[in-house]
Amino acid sequence: MATAEAPAMIDAWERVTARLPLTEDLRLPGMLHGAILRSPYPHARLRHIDPRPALAIPGVVAVVTRDDILSDPTLERTYGPQIADEPIVALERVRYVGDRVAAVAAEDEATARAAVQAILVEYEPLPAVFDAVAAARPEAPLVHPDLAAYPGVSLNFDLRPVPGTNICHHFRIRRGDLAAGLAAADLVLEETFFTPSAQHVTMEPHVTVAWWEGDRLVVYTASQTPFDVQRALARLFRLGLEQVRVVVHPLGGGYGAKTFPRLEPLAALLARKAGRPVRLALSREEEFVTLNRHPATITIRLGVRRDGTITAKQVLAYWNTGAYADSGPGVATKGGYHAVGPYRIPHVWVDSYCVYTHLPPNGAFRGYSATQAVWASERMMDLAAERLGLDPLEFRQRNLLRDGDAFATGEVVHDVHFADLLQAAAQAIDWPHDQRTVLPDGTIRAKGLAVTLKGMQTPSRCEARVGLTAEGRLRVYAGTVEMGQGSRTALARLAAAVLDQPLDQVEVVFPDTAVVPFDTRTTSSRSTYMLGTAVQRAATILRQRLLDLAAELLEADPRDLVCRSGRIFVAGVPERALRLGEVVARTGRFELTAQAAFANEGGLDPDTGQGVASSHWHQSAVGAVVRVDPETGRVEVEHVHAAVYAGRVVNPVLARLQTEGNVVFGLGTALFEEIVFGEGQVLNANLSDYLIPSFADIPPRVTVTLLERPGAEVHGLGETALPPTPAAIGNAVARALGVNLTRLPLTPERLRAALAEPERREEG
Amino acid sequence: MTTLLWLEPTTLAEALALRQAYGDEARPIGGGVWVTLLLQQGLLRPRALLALHRLADLTGIGLEPDGTLRLGAGLPLNVVASHPLVRERAPVLARACGLVANVRIRAQGTIGGNLCEADYASDPPAALAALEARVRLASTQGARELPVREFLVGHYQTRVQPEEIVTDLLVPPPLPGARSVYLKFVTRSSEDRPCATVAAVAGLDAEGRCQHLALAVGAVASTPVVRPTVAALARGERLTPALIREIASRFVEGLDLVSDLRGSADYRRHLVRVLLQRALHQVAAAPAGGVRDGDR
């Protein structure tokens, strides 16, 4: 195993001295700059577009409008990761304020941005709908009247659109007999919860540089999904996969924002028309109309017996996916089962709808539906505990999934530690003592808990190659995108450990579809586990090959050889040795490589929700201590303890930092992050009006438990601690004020309003 | 594309001459915190930027013979926040400047620039209004002074004329027994602009009777709200809980308050009442000359 003294990040120095190569910094000779004309209407028919005034501006080289797409039979009309519903620029209509109408490539960015404003467009406004619940009704204006005709691109689950509505996917779980389960309950509670839209706010905005070399397309892009982008571009431009090369340098943050094709199709089309490289980079304002988090409206009915046993659970969820589906269907599916929670419930019925509206597209966002689902599910657990007069910890412990139990999807769970994690979180905040205390200054200190089950991308696959050069350097070829999470360091450590190489002799090659083997994508906290396994396998094969070759050279039995500190030697005779690089050199090669694959299998039946949702589970629990000022409604979070299941920790420093980072992310969602819309327009599309936590907002105490088990698989930690954080804070605040809270974020004004409201709780 | 002209005078006389020559076509710029934002968003398209950062005349700090504290308009907010003279003579202003945004903004933004921005959601204006500070403006024709309360006229509007430059802020000497409190309330991140602020400056005699009270409430209306007739209720009185309640209630009566993403007018009305009561209780308990730490 790599040692704890090894550097926490192999590229930390380059990172802090701004020497890490980012796509943002890439400039090429002859490169043009693109800009996008965006719709001012949430929904309108495009009657007429005249690009001529823009073309007349000096410095403008090319303008792309729908005519370039409609007049070109070699171009596919639309693309999209799960439903091909998105055109490169609007064809017959615009679907949200900010939708792409046209684009310009010019000699400099200022000219491009000025030129798009010169394009003449005639719109015919149409009725629009912004709320997912309203949009799901049969009478709502349709965002995609032609939905049924789109080429269905199904990745890992079957799509279930509801024809003639804005529902582009309906995921169901049907387990047991809901009516019987509710009838067996002593008490049935029902409540509706809401989580608003949010922005990822990556430090580096979306950026792509594209150019053509004859009929080959080269794209440098800030993307978490190089292979998805390659596949989408090949399909759109009708090219072979080998004709599209996608290269990804480290990202200045991802958080899900940089998944699937985003600027690449437009940059490629602009570059093709201009005949020169084109750089397309978004402004901060444009980030807010490009991809956000799904607003979610989730209604839960929970049947419980007096002794605290859950008999049945019904979930009705609406995921507002905006104007284009993006990964919305996947969000609705995973959100559907995430809302069940890590509980043993015999009767479960879930209806989770992905709904089009005329808002900007919503897609993958750190937590991938679990944040919204856990807010609803774990608030409900506290409401039920309160009604039953049970301690919220005991109530949860009575129902938590344990090894060998079946989840709502029918799969039997193994290696689950929800009870231990929740216990660790409770203990860290000294639960059950002082759950609510009124302090001398009138503020109230209170505590809250929440627990989370989150799935990982299933099925998925990856391959990795590990090479040893004649110079003795170990090289790791993997499709994992480095976005600050430290995946390059994790893979370097894992490979180095197998060959007992010093870390400074390991190089992790940047993802390049022409160089590295296939990987599904860098999402769902899967890389350290999936790629890590493939890298270890490849490194093990490489080690054996080196041993075999060395055995011949040293005239020894390979079983008598030892591979240590960059050398192979005969056990007990350290002077009969070869450096690893020498072994390779003696074979006449520059590099000796080995490749290995790893895949996880599974999938759910979308009509019953039965099957395998996740090949293993991300598990976490959070305990929060808050101090609330009831006069103003202001919340101070004093302590957050996050307990996560790591299985096996690869990098202790980064594992801890990832978990703290999740807590800070959750803090913003809990207390103030919210994209505000007025008639579909984002009203706070800048960082003065949309605030994210600053260092001064971080609670004075953030503590972490990294739970390990001997021999366990590595479990990803990129998102694990995020989903329970808002719920635990919300449960603490609700306890402090003695009110029901259903809506995030917990702004001072909302809390004051909750205090003024008479208590509202329904019985089914 | 038109090129933005960069004017960088090194003396006040030179700057005033350029201001006279360009008028509205040259935008004066101190630290550039606000002007840069406006330029980036395309809300401002001047022909030239008149950079004032090299004028030594604008960064002075000292006492006038009558005890008035003179602050150069070009002083960064972090200098105002930490300068011993400001802390001694006008602690409420030091406190307010020390709570603006974050350390990077405070190092870059200037006190004069902040005032000329005239953003309602800002800390220094209410503190200056409570202190009854004045603004000194210069032009090639001479200089004039205006109370801060008159200098600020509305959202992003001041009384600066196209040929004028703000050179100094003048804070009157503290009255005997003076004590003050500054409270800032944010509803989102700690770096957010305020939802409401309260600056309270009081002079209490040895018996705890209020000889003087100035209150200014910021971030809730287009300019800081001062209600001298309400503050005058305290004159000659002890700040009892009943009197404090009355002042706070009377202060918000009939006020027309703004609604924004930080809070609605109704919430602000409630909040101002709460903050005023807290500020007055703290003033009553504060040692003479002292300033209390405000809520965040």
- The DSSP element (H or E) to which B284 belongs, if any, is helix B265-285
Instruction: Report d(CA A211, CA A199) in Å as an integer.
Output: 30
pLDDT of A2 reads 43
Nearest CA in chain A to B259: A749
Contact A672 B270 (CB under 8 A): no
The helices-and-strands tally (H runs, E runs) of chain B is 12, 14
Considering only CB atoms, A693 lies closest to which of B41, B185, B189, namely B189
* Interface with B, mutate which of A664, A681, A749 (most B CBs under 10 A): A749
How far is it, in rounded angstroms, from Cα B198 to Cα B126? 7
Q: What is the pLDDT of residues B125-174, one digit of tens each?
A: 999 999 999 999 999 999 999 999 999 999 999 999 999 999 999 999 99
Residues of B in contact with A681 (CB under 8 A): none
pLDDT at A763: 39
A684 → closest Cβ in B41, B261, B264:
B261
Inform me whether the C-beta atom of residue B109 falls under 8 Å from chain A C-beta atoms.
no
Residue A644 in contact with residue A658, Cβ under 8 Å?
A: no
Average pLDDT, 10 consecutive residues per value, chain A (764 residues) = 66 91 95 98 98 98 98 95 95 98 97 97 98 98 92 63 94 98 98 98 97 98 98 97 98 97 98 98 97 98 98 98 97 98 98 98 98 98 98 98 98 97 98 97 98 94 96 96 94 95 94 96 91 96 97 95 94 94 95 96 94 96 98 98 96 96 98 98 96 96 98 95 98 98 98 82 39
Say if residues A614 and A631 touch (Cβ distance below 8 Å): no
> Distance, in angstroms, between A520 CA and closest chain B CA?
37
Conformational region of residue A633, where left means phi above 0, alpha means psi within -120 to 50, and beta covers everything else: left
Residue A748, chain B, CB below 8 Å: the answer is: yes
Strand partners, B16: none
Chain B residues near residue A631 by CB distance under 8 angstroms: 274
Confidence at residue A199, expressed as pLDDT on a 0 to 100 scale = 98
Give the CA-trace dihedral at A251, A509, A260, A220, to 10 degrees: 70
Check if the beta carbon of residue A544 is closer than 8 Å to that of residue A561.
no
- Measured between CB atoms, does A692 come within 8 Å of chain B? yes
Q: With CA atoms as reference, report the closest residue to B119 among B149, B150, B156, B166.
A: B156
Residue A152 is predicted with a pLDDT of 64
pLDDT number for residue A764: 34
Cα A405 to Cα A207, A350, A617, distances in angstroms: 46, 19, 13
Contact A111 B261 (CB under 8 A): no
**What 3-state DSSP class applies to A560?**
helix
Measured between beta carbons, the chain B residues lying within 8 angstroms of A110 are 1
The minimum CA-CA distance between B193 and chain A, rounded to whole Å, is 8
Q: Are A762 and A300 in contact (CB under 8 A)?
A: no
Per DSSP, helices labelled H in A355-417 are: 370-388, 392-399
A282 vs B37: which has the higher pLDDT: A282
Residue B191 to residue A631, Cβ atoms within 8 A: no
CB B174 within 8 Å of CB B212: no
**Pick among B33, B45, B192, B261 to test the A interface (most A CBs inside 10 A):** B261
Q: Sort strands A296-304 and B26-29 into parallel, antiparallel or unpaired.
A: unpaired
Other C-beta atoms lying within 10 Å of the C-beta of residue A17: 8
Gap from A101 CA to chain B (nearest CA, Å): 21
3-state helix, strand, coil in chain B (%, to 5): 35, 25, 35
Interchain CB distance below 8 Å, B191 and A694: yes
pTM for the complete prediction?
A: 0.96
Mutation site for B-interface testing, chosen from A697, A698, A755 by largest number of B Cβ within 10 Å? A697
State how far the Cα of A589 lies from the Cα of A126, in Å rounded to an integer.
Answer: 66
Residues near B41 by beta carbon (within 8 Å), at least 6 away in sequence: A686
- Nearest CA to A291 out of A258, A264, A317 is that of A258
A630 touches chain B (CB under 8 A): no
CA distances from A650 to A9, A12, A258, A497, A713 (A): 12, 17, 25, 11, 11
Least CA distance to B261: which residue of chain A?
A689
Query: A632: which chain B residues are within 8 Å (Cβ-Cβ)?
Result: 185, 271, 274, 295
Question: For an interface test with A, which of B191, B198, B220, B262 has the most A Cβ atoms less than 10 Å from its Cβ?
Answer: B191
- Answer whether B267 touches A (CB < 8 Å): yes
Answer whether B102 sits within 8 Å of A694, measured CB to CB. Answer: yes
**A632/B191 CB distance under 8 A:** no
Closest residue in A to B193 (Cα) is A688
State whether A749 and B263 contact (CB < 8 Å): yes
CB atoms < 10 A from the CB of B104, how many? 11
* Rounded Cα distance, A482 and B113, in Å: 41
Chain B residues whose beta carbon lies within 8 Å of the beta carbon of residue A749: 187, 263-264, 267
Burial of B120 (0-12, 13-18, 19+ CB in 10 A): buried
Whether residue B293 has pLDDT greater than 70: no
Q: List chain A residues with CB under 8 Å of B41.
A: 686
**Longest distance between any two alpha carbons in chain A, whole Å:** 86
Residues of chain A in contact with residue B263, where contact means CB-CB under 8 angstroms, are 748-749
State the count of interchain CB pairs (< 8 A) between A and B. Answer: 51
Centre a 10 Å sphere on the Cβ of residue A553 and count the other Cβ atoms it contains. Answer: 13
CA of B190 to nearest chain A CA: how many angstroms apart? Answer: 6
HEC assignment per residue over A424-435: HHHHHCCCCCCC
Contact B189 A676 (CB under 8 A): no
**In this predicted structure, what is the pLDDT of residue B118?**
97
CA within 13 Å, CB half, A609: 27
- Amino acid A153: pLDDT: 43
Asked if A632 is an interface residue toward chain B (Cβ–Cβ < 8 A), one would say: yes
> How many angstroms separate the first and last alpha carbons of chain B?
44
Give the ipTM: 0.95
Query: In this complex, do B191 and A114 lie within 8 Å of one another by their Cβ atoms?
Result: no
